């Protein structure tokens, strides 16, 4: 078997507080466009990093500051890569537009009562979802002229909502929370009638503590979730999206990956190539892949590698870049971001 290694390409310094999250710009990294990602931090700023095509090294191209007054917890590029949404503990979500290399704050979404924890665009870039410590999930519609209108306020979680993610192809929203549940939301009627269509919790082999993050595989029929209960769980659905009859194909538990982590797992991300990475409070990055060794009753997923001491402190976020040969980026409480290459 070939020996794989997660090689540190670069350590990026610049943020002056813990780095919470990052997002690769989906419109970069192909057709000669250099890779770009955004990172956000407890220092209240967002930084834009761009790869130099000749050296392959990243440098900070812009710092977005003086808009958020508290920690910026989450950031997300629109599918076109033109807009960047940033969610902050100051209870607002800001929308930034890249105007000739300069980032301008073109809109501020207000409505949450307190800390906004996560933000996500749907596949077509027409809807935005945000979630907050106020236990609610908000859906916003993009309107002409960088206007955003609230479509629906979803209440169902009984605690802090940690993350929202849209399905990669369908307008179905997923949220996970401090209440240990994952909720699935869909527009069942035709007029802003968003409802919770499924709750994945303890009775359905769900998590027994805070669910921190979720991520989908490339085809969107599987989802992986990570938790404070030290496990990763894989879920699947028979049919992606709403069925023709209008019914919703529910998600079911496939397997639980236990025994690999001994501290909280804060982040998980599934690459297009089928490898999912986890970032945890033990400062390590682990990679998992489907187990093809055809043992009967063998584990469905196996640990590909574990990178100990990937950072000096908790790893808050990991994400694979887009494209053929993805890079992995990790964000940590140690205030740095690292870019990794999976090499054999």
Contact pick of 65, 110, 262, 312 for another protein (by CB under 8 A): 110
Beta carbon nearer to another protein, 28 or 152: 152
Among 15, 44, 68, 133, binds another protein (CB under 8 A): 133
Q: By three-state DSSP, how is residue 219 classified?
A: coil
Phi/psi for 203 (5° steps) reads -65, -20
CB of 339 to another protein, least distance (A): 24
Positions 189 through 228 that interact with another protein (CB under 8 A): 192
Q: Assign residue 56 a region (left: φ > 0; alpha: ψ between -120 and 50; beta: otherwise).
A: left
Q: Segment near another protein (CB under 8 A), from 130-138, 219-227, 242-250, 267-275?
A: 130-138
Find all residues with CB under 8 Å of 66, minimum gap 6, and list them. Answer: none
Q: Where are the alpha helices (DSSP H) in the chain?
A: none
Run of H or E residues at 83: strand 83-88
Please answer whether residues 260 and 206 qualify as being in contact, where contact means their C-beta atoms are separated by less than 8 angstroms. no
Q: Which of 213, 137, 139, 135 is nearest to 179 (CA)?
A: 135
Label the pairing between strands 327-332 and 315-320. antiparallel
CB 90 within 8 A of CB 133: no
Task: Pick one of 123, 150, 254, 305: the residue that binds another protein (CB under 8 A).
Answer: 150
* 194 or 288: CB nearest another protein: 194
Q: What residues from 14 to 53 belong to the interface with another protein (CB under 8 A)?
A: none
Please name the residues in contact with 189: beta carbons below 8 A apart, sequence gap of 6 or more.
Answer: none
Residues 258-287 that bind another protein (CB under 8 A): none
Q: Which is nearer to another protein, 70 or 272 (CB)?
A: 70
Q: Order of strands across the sheet with 251-257?
A: 211-216, 222-227, 232-237, 251-257
151 near another protein, judged by CB under 8 A: yes
114 contributes a contact to another protein by CB under 8 A: yes
- Cβ closest to another protein, residue 10 vs residue 130: 130
Size of residue set near another protein by CB under 8 A: 18
Q: Does 136 bind another protein (CB under 8 A)?
A: yes
The strand pairing partners of 141, in sequence order, are 127, 149
Minimum gap (Å) between residue 71 Cβ and another protein:
8
Contact flag: residue 96 with another protein (CB under 8 A): no
Between 104 and 149, whose beta carbon lies closer to another protein?
A: 149
Residue 155 touches another protein, criterion: CB under 8 A? yes
Does 311 sit near another protein (CB under 8 A)? no
Q: Which stretch binds another protein (CB under 8 A): 8-16, 132-140, 243-251, 295-303?
A: 132-140
Among 8, 65, 113, 236, binds another protein (CB under 8 A): 113
Nearer CB in complex with another protein: 171/221: 171
Q: Which residues pair with 91 in a beta bridge?
A: none
State the nearest-atom distance from the C-beta of 176 to another protein, in Å: 14
Compute the distance between CA of residue 187 and CA of residue 81 in angstroms, rounded to an integer.
26
Rounded CA-CA distance 181/168 in Å is 20
Q: How far is the CB of 118 from another protein (least distance, A)?
A: 12
Site for another protein in 171-190 (CB under 8 A): 178
Instruction: Quote the CA–CA distance of 303 and 90 in Å, as a whole number.
Output: 39
Q: How far is the CB of 177 from another protein (least distance, A)?
A: 12
Spatial neighbors of 57 by CB under 8 A, at least 6 apart, are 9, 10, 51
Residues in the site for another protein, rule: CB under 8 A? 73, 109-111, 113-114, 133, 136, 138, 149-153, 155, 160, 178, 192
């Amino acid at each position: 078997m070939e020996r794989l290694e997660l090689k540190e390409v670069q350590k990026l310094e610049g943020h002056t507080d813990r780095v919470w999250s990052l997002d690769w710009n989906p419109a970069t990294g192909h057709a000669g466009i250099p890779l770009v990602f955004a990172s956000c931090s407890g220092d209240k700023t967002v930084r834009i990093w761009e790869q130099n095509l000749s050296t392959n090294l990243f440098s900070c191209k812009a710092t977005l500051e003086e808009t958020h007054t508290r920690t910026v917890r989450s950031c997300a590029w629109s599918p076109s890569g033109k807009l960047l949404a940033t969610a902050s503990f100051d209870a607002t979500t800001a929308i930034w537009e890249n105007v000739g290399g300069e980032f301008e704050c073109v809109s501020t979404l207000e409505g949450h009562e307190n800390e906004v924890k996560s933000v996500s665009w749907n596949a077509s870039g027409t809807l935005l979802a945000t979630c907050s410590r106020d236990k609610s999930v908000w859906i916003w519609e993009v309107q002409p002229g960088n206007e955003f209108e609230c479509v629906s306020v979803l209440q169902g979680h009984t605690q802090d909502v940690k993350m929202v993610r849209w399905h990669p192809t369908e307008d179905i929203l997923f949220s996970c929370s401090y209440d240990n549940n994952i909720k699935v939301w869909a527009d069942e009627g035709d007029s802003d009638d968003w409802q919770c269509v499924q709750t994945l919790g303890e009775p359905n082999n769900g998590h027994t503590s805070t669910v921190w993050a979720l991520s989908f595989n490339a085809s969107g029929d599987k989802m992986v979730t990570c938790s404070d209960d030290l496990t990763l769980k894989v879920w699947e659905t028979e049919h992606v999206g709403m069925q023709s009859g209008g019914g919703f194909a529910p998600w079911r538990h496939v397997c639980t990956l236990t025994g690999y982590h001994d501290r909280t797992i804060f982040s998980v991300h599934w690459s297009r190539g089928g490898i999912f990475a986890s970032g945890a409070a033990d400062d390590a990055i682990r990679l998992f892949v489907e187990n093809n060794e055809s043992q009967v009753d063998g584990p469905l997923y196996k640990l590909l590698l574990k990178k100990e001491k990937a950072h000096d402190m908790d790893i808050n976020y990991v994400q694979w870049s887009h494209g053929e040969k993805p890079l992995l980026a990790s964000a940590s409480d140690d205030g740095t971001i690292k870019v990794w290459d999976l090499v054999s």
